[in-house]
Amino acid sequence: MLNLERLRVLHAVATTGSVVGAARLLHVTTSAVSQQMARLEQETGTDLAERQGRGIRLTEAGTLLAGQAAELLEQAERIMATMAQHRGTVAGSLTIAAFPTAARALLPPALRALRSRYPELTVSAREQEPCEAVPAVRRGLLDLAVGEDWTDDPRSLPQGLDRRALLDDTYDVALPPEHRLVGRRALGLDDLADEDWITSRDGQLCHEWLVRSLGRARIAHTASEHATQMALVAAGLGIAIIPHLGREPITAPVRFVPVADGPRRRVFAVWRSTSAARPAIGAVVDALVEACSAVQGRP
């Protein structure tokens, strides 16, 4: 009979691509991973990994068994979630990732509420872009993730994930205080076509929208943090598109004007379908929904 924990080690090696990555994922030493792999090879009577440079790679047999292990681990997770649902206790540990704006605006109030309500639940949070976090949830590296996409350009999710909408977030254009367009009630994209833009780096959501919507947009500066973008706007170095979720107490002298045909993004939570029955998953999602309601109620 194969040991489930050793199969978990093999799956971690396959998922992360290395013994070091598996050790970090499982919070054990690299020697413990190597020992478990060696014992699994003894149990199966075949080589599961081979040396490749300073690391290892799975053999054909190792890759085959890793695929079967993933199915077994999913079934085990489904069983454990069902038993947790039967007990009805919100307990254990979870990991959640959120993109920077959501990590700053949503995670602190959500985690504070969870700690107050469920002392037996431990939630570990990290900041991570959806392009990395969502696949990490599918591979079992995270339990939940807060992601985003545009209403007119939805993100396709990997099979095996459940999703819940949290909020629809609108954007305004941030202008220097003396800009010629300050005072307008709303702006169209045509009004902004010849401006210098300050936006996030290539590959991030706002950058993609800007290039898609204004193909000839002049991107003068890039910055991941909205606070940095607004500081550059205040210095008269360009304009930026800023989401309401990212709106913080503003010290920089910028002016916001709605964009009539501007972007609208959807913020959502995702988790594995196999863990959906776990009460802790529902508790975290409910706390995120409450945090979103509080954000939407702000001016």
Q: Which residues pair with 137 in a beta bridge?
A: none
Residues 247-282 pLDDT 10s: 766 666 899 999 887 778 899 999 999 888 899 999
For residues 236 and 112, state if they share a domain: no
For residues 80 and 151, state if they share a domain: no
C-beta separation of 123 from 96 below 8 A:
yes
DSSP state of 182: T
Question: Is the pLDDT score of 87 beyond 70?
Answer: yes
DSSP three-state, residue 195? coil
The pLDDT score that the predictor gives to residue 190 is: 83
Enter the tokens of residue 195. Answer: 């401006």
The pLDDT score that the predictor gives to residue 222 is: 92
Question: Is the pLDDT score of 118 beyond 90?
Answer: yes
Mean pLDDT of the chain: 87
Number of domains in the chain: 3
CA distance 244 to 18: 40
CA distance 50 to 243: 49
Residues 177-231 pLDDT 10s: 999 999 899 998 888 888 999 998 877 777 877 888 777 778 899 998 888 999 9
Kindly report the CATH number assigned to the domain that includes residue 61. 1.10.10.10
- % of the chain exceeding 90 in pLDDT: 35
The pLDDT score that the predictor gives to residue 233 is: 94
For residues 260 and 180, state if they share a domain: yes
CA distance 101 to 92: 27
User: What is the band of 7 on the pLDDT scale with cuts at 50, 70, 90?
Assistant: confident
Left (φ > 0), alpha (ψ -120 to 50) or beta: where does 276 sit?
A: alpha
The pLDDT score that the predictor gives to residue 73 is: 79
Choose among 106, 135, 147: nearest CA to 123: 106
For residues 70 and 97, state if they share a domain: no
Chain center to CA of 229:
22
Choose among 150, 131, 147, 167: nearest CA to 210: 150
Tell me the residue length of the chain.
Answer: 299
For residues 162 and 180, state if they share a domain: no
- What's the whole-number mean pLDDT along residues 72-81? 78
For residues 46 and 183, state if they share a domain: no
The pLDDT score that the predictor gives to residue 17 is: 84
Helices (H), the chain: 4-16, 19-26, 30-44, 60-87, 100-105, 107-117, 130-138, 205-213, 226-234, 279-296
For residues 178 and 247, state if they share a domain: yes
For residues 20 and 73, state if they share a domain: yes
- Domain finish residue from 85, 112, 144: 85
- What's the whole-number mean pLDDT along residues 144-151? 90
Q: Which residues pair with 87 in a beta bridge?
A: none
Block residue for tokens 């085990």: 76
Enter the tokens of residue 13. Answer: 């090696």
Phi, psi of 287 (to 5 degrees): -65, -35
Number of Cβ within 10 Å of residue 38's Cβ equals 13
For residues 162 and 36, state if they share a domain: no
Dihedral Cα 246, 248, 253, 259, nearest 10 deg: 30
Where in the sequence is the domain holding 184, given as residue range(s)? 168-264
- Domain finish residue from 85, 111, 143: 85
- What's the whole-number mean pLDDT along residues 1-29? 84
User: What is the band of 51 on the pLDDT scale with cuts at 50, 70, 90?
Assistant: confident
Kindly report the CATH number assigned to the domain that includes residue 124. 3.40.190.10
DSSP three-state, residue 91? coil
Dihedral Cα 85, 91, 92, 98, nearest 10 deg: 90
DSSP three-state, residue 225? coil
For residues 101 and 79, state if they share a domain: no
C-beta separation of 196 from 208 below 8 A:
no
For residues 49 and 185, state if they share a domain: no
For residues 253 and 179, state if they share a domain: yes
